[in-house]
Chain A
Amino acid sequence: MTSARELTDQRQGGVIRQNQLVSEDAWQVVRLDEDGNLTSYQQPALLPLAEWQALVAAGEGSDHLAPWLASDTELTPELGKALVDAPLLAVDFPNFNDGRGYTIARLMRERFGYQGEIRAIGDVLVDQLHYMSRCGISAFALRDDQYVEDALHALSSFSVSYQTGVDQKTPLFARR
């Protein structure tokens, strides 16, 4: 058992990518307001899927616009293929108990071959980052009250896994 680490008191949100806190990340998550309208935004922006699709269909897509996927998004083959060209994909966790985003991320990586960044947004818990990363989520937007050091620690909790994931293509039974 590893010895207990020292817990310092540096709360800080931010985006974690490749085991590091990214100091500059301008992507803004845009949600609909209570009346179902888009709040105003500046690019780069993560838009609700339907709004992003509409812009792309109108020829107004750009490298600074990307969709976020609600947890109940049904990844039909058409949608999966359409998303492959997005500059960034965010998966929303409306609350941390909603595990649908794990399947969405995995399908985007394994079935539709998405190569770009998949970012977890919403109610993302530090202690979930390990599972998320195994499902192919490569960046994590932390809340401002979360501890980056805890998040980085959580990402390195395990050195072994039994089953396949986006990080490990061969199950342990075939590697032993």
Chain B
Amino acid sequence: MYRYDTYDQTLVDERVAQFKDQMDRYLAGRLGDEEFRPLRLQNGLYIQRHAPMLRIAIPYGMLSAVQLRAMAAISRRYDRSYGHFTTRQNLQLNWPKLEDVPAILAELAQVEMHAIQTSGNCIRNTTTDQFAGIAEDETVDPRPWCELIRQWSTLHPEFAYLPRKFKIAVTGASADRAAIQVHDIGIRLNRADDGSVKATILAGGGLGRTPMVGDIVREDLDWQHLLTYLDAIVRVYNQWGRRDNKYKARIKILVKALGIEEFRRRVEEEWAHLKDGPETLTDSAVTKATSYFPEPERREVSAEAIEAYEALRRENRAFARFVTNNVVGHKVPGYKAVTLSLKRRELAPGDVTADQMDAVADLAEQYGFGELRVTHEQNLVLSDVPVDELETLWKALEELGMANPTVGTLADMICCPGGDFCSLANAKSIPIAQALQDRFEDLDFLYDLGPLDLNISGCMNACGHHHVGNIGILGVDKKGQEFYQVSLGGRSDDNATLGKILGPSFNAEDMPNVIDKVLQVYVEQRLEDEVFVDTYHRIGMKPFKERVYA
């Protein structure tokens, strides 16, 4: 995992001091609300429905046990002893006091963490595949590249006041688990025949009120040029992005308005000046960045141990269920990556208590070389578990309520904080998630349905990625009352597609029945082994509509 050297630490410490000074001036009344706003946002601090909200950066979702423990302590001391993992691999605290934020940032800095650029109209936390570095289908480990992008984008002097927020996602695997097509910039890394890294660069994807899938700007960009090319894209956006209307200010609107050819032409023209300039990456920069992500010293897992594990899987049905759903393959034989489910009835999707954080930190040290990842589906991952330790880990997770064997199923829903916390919400989303979890708790039914992404947002800002849910639920407001609109057919994988709206919206109480009817149509119509979203695209909206509105 990346470790700060004195430069990184100095920068973060100076940032803490800067923000403390800004807060002092704000509280002393010499910095107005309007002037303070972008400053606090670029330090992750929102003013929300009930309280301030602090979004803590977890660069590309990598988290150490030490850091997680520090967050547990912070959430106990300054908040209500829990935190919320977000779809952008960050952690949010929902109840900090405004005046405490400088102190929280100072405590974070002690464990090499911060809240820099987790909000505001700047380049946000770069996200990636939660299985980076261990996935079987990976050709390039995206983490060193994400780290280089993190450094380049952190406190970038030219790009702190962009027209709008700016999000970058990176993948180096053949299956896209980072949703690169729905980010402002998506980067797909691959390897050329000579082993060198090449990048395909997409731009103009994004969700929110005008959802779009990104277009390819550049293919086969040599790795040396990654940062100068990003500079060129963001500079074009800074100059030409709309600033008259915040709803039309994202880069996707610019790409659409210019057309991808003209957009590309401008980027290439800008890049011609930047190419081979000082930000051109060098072998030593990449080697250094790569050195922070070494292969852990994995012990060998014997063939007998693997056989014993397979035997256990055959014998113990509960364990087998857990493995089938929450455990994925690893590039090293005898090792697995385990998803810790943060989806259970008692807590909102993505929430963890301070005690759970501490316990998970212990597990990470015991089973995963002290490291964890946050997934954009709002779960946690232990990336390096030897198969002969899976059973004990599973039992420990059961006790923590994190072994729900439902990862990838309907019950593993993505859900934004919605009307319970968010001042922008049109409707609540957490109670809908809970009602659906109650209704569809039968495991056999969930397994029979197979992989299914159900995503819920409390308003069209789409924090819950509802557009790319196979089933999407969006909170809408009609004359002050909360309703829910359903969309079908979205996906955020390699064939990213935006869902289509089913029809008029529903009451909260109707939602379980509506979703049930949608599922019935699928179950009746599917071909053998056909997943929900494929059935939908084969048969279209009509049968679903007929059933739901019958």
Interfacial residues, chain A to chain B (CB-CB below 8 A):
1-2, 4-5, 7, 74, 96-100, 102-103, 106, 111, 125, 127-128, 130-132, 134-135, 147, 150, 153-154, 157-165, 169-174, 176
Determine if B30 and A150 form an interchain contact, defined as CB atoms under 8 angstroms apart: yes
Chain B residues with Cβ under 8 A from A154's Cβ?
18
Chain A residues with Cβ under 8 A from B157's Cβ?
102, 130-132, 134-135, 161, 163, 165
Determine if B5 and A176 form an interchain contact, defined as CB atoms under 8 angstroms apart: yes
Cα A118 to Cα B24 with chains together (Å): 30
* Cβ of A132 to closest chain B Cβ, rounded Å: 8
* Cβ of B200 to closest chain A Cβ, rounded Å: 23
Cα A157 to Cα B12 with chains together (Å): 11
Contact of B161 with A by CB under 8 A: yes
* Cβ of B34 to closest chain A Cβ, rounded Å: 8
Complex partner residue of B25 from A135, A150, A170, A172, CB under 8 angstroms: A150
Determine if A174 and B282 form an interchain contact, defined as CB atoms under 8 angstroms apart: yes
Q: How many residues of B contact A (CB 8 A)?
A: 50
Known: A4-B24, A174-B282. A161 touches B288 (CB 8 A): no
Cα A67 to Cα B145 with chains together (Å): 42
Chain A residues with Cβ under 8 A from B447's Cβ?
none
Known: A1-B20, A4-B20, A7-B28. A100 touches B35 (CB 8 A): no
Determine if B13 and A102 form an interchain contact, defined as CB atoms under 8 angstroms apart: no
Determine if B154 and A162 form an interchain contact, defined as CB atoms under 8 angstroms apart: yes
Determine if A174 and B285 form an interchain contact, defined as CB atoms under 8 angstroms apart: yes
Secondary structure of the A side of the interface?
loop
Cα A71 to Cα B550 with chains together (Å): 56
Known: A150-B30, A163-B151. A100 touches B239 (CB 8 A): yes
Determine if A1 and B16 form an interchain contact, defined as CB atoms under 8 angstroms apart: yes
Residues 197-246 of B contacting A (Cβ, < 8 Å):
227, 235, 238-239, 243
Determine if A162 and B17 form an interchain contact, defined as CB atoms under 8 angstroms apart: no
| Complex A-B: 22 CB contacts under 8 Å | A2-B17, A4-B20, A5-B21, A7-B25, A99-B158, A99-B161, A100-B243, A128-B160, A135-B157, A150-B25, A154-B18, A158-B14, A158-B155, A160-B11, A162-B151, A163-B152, A165-B157, A169-B278, A173-B148, A173-B151, A173-B288, A174-B278
Determine if A157 and B14 form an interchain contact, defined as CB atoms under 8 angstroms apart: yes
Contact of B159 with A by CB under 8 A: yes
Residue on A nearest B273 in the bound complex, by CB? A111
* Cβ of B247 to closest chain A Cβ, rounded Å: 15
Cα A2 to Cα B281 with chains together (Å): 34
Residue on A nearest B7 in the bound complex, by CB? A160
Contact of B22 with A by CB under 8 A: yes
